[in-house]
């Protein structure tokens, strides 16, 4: 318990302000616009003070990534799995795209061990939430998931690849929704065995 209660409140508020300013700068001008001076000005403080709350620029980015991971994990925990894998993936694409657009292309290897451990934790929580969601959705549409340690990394890589295509202009020639639908359908086909039960037949339109 701090002697001056207001101090921790201010401290948390400052962290939030810095991360919010970082997100805004990334949205407006990409990584090139995220300079420590611009960040300080945007957050209403001097550059030096940022280093009171984050060890370096990479730490700011890692914290922003972590914030997105937590938000996505929360979203995945609340998404309904009743309508199957494709519906579930459609529901999380906007959030995954936002995450990739801001912090997707950040370096993997960092110099900060503590932050790495921290990130590994939220990353694995995010993967666990995605795994549970896929299992529930597969059950809901009565088809088997092709389980493997590589299952979730594969789906995640596919979502990040889609996000990369969407964020950059690489697919200007292709209709966005076509790309999203094809990707989601192909991912779903890739990780499932064909459904066999009556529910699956109904879903596929075969009223036998």
**Residue ranges that bind DNA, judged by CB under 7 A:** 4, 7, 10, 14, 34-38, 45-49, 51-52, 56-58
Is residue 77 within 8 Å of residue 36, measured between CB atoms? no
Among 168, 196, 198, 199, binds a second copy (CB under 8 A): 168
**From a second copy, DNA, none, interface partner of 178 (C-beta below 5 to 8 A by class):** a second copy
How many beta carbons lie within 10 A of that of residue 68, not counting itself?
21
* Calpha distance 35→183 (Å, rounded): 35
* Residue burial 74-88, b: 16+ Cβ < 10 Å; e: rest: ebbeebebeebbbbb
Q: What is the CA radius of gyration of the chain?
A: 20
The CB-of-64 to DNA minimum distance in angstroms stands at 14
The CB-of-4 to a second copy minimum distance in angstroms stands at 40
Measuring CA to CA, which residue among 21, 67, 25 is closest to residue 44? 21
Q: Considering only residues 105 through 124, tell me which ones interact with a second copy, judged by CB under 8 A.
A: 105, 107-109
**What is the C-alpha end-to-end distance of the chain, expressed in Å?**
68
Q: Nearer Cβ to a second copy, position 10 or 185?
A: 185
The CB-of-1 to a second copy minimum distance in angstroms stands at 39
Which residues contact a second copy by CB under 8 A?
A: 30-31, 105, 107-109, 146, 148-151, 153-154, 156-158, 160-162, 164-165, 167-171, 173-175, 178-179, 181-183, 185-187, 189-191, 194
């Amino acid at each position: 318990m701090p002697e001056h209660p207001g101090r921790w409140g201010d401290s948390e508020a400052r962290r939030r302000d810095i991360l919010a300013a970082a997100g805004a700068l990334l949205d407006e001008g990409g990584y090139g616009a995220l300079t420590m001076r611009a960040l300080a000005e945007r957050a209403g403080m001097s550059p030096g003070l940022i280093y009171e709350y984050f060890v370096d620029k990479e730490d700011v980015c890692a914290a922003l990534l972590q914030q997105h991971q937590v938000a996505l994990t929360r979203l995945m925990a609340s998404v309904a799995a009743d309508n199957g894998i494709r519906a579930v993936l459609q529901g999380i694409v906007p959030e995954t795209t936002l995450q990739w657009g801001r912090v997707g292309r950040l370096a993997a290897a960092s110099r900060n061990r503590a932050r790495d451990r921290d990130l590994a934790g939220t990353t694995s929580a995010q993967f666990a939430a995605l795994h549970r969601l896929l299992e529930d959705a597969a059950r809901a549409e009565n088809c088997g998931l092709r389980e493997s340690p590589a299952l979730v990394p594969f789906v995640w890589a596919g979502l990040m690849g889609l996000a990369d295509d969407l964020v950059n202009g690489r697919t200007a020639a292709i209709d966005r929704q076509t790309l999203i639908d094809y990707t989601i359908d192909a991912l779903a086909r890739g990780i499932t065995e064909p459904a066999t039960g009556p529910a699956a037949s109904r879903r596929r339109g075969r009223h036998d």
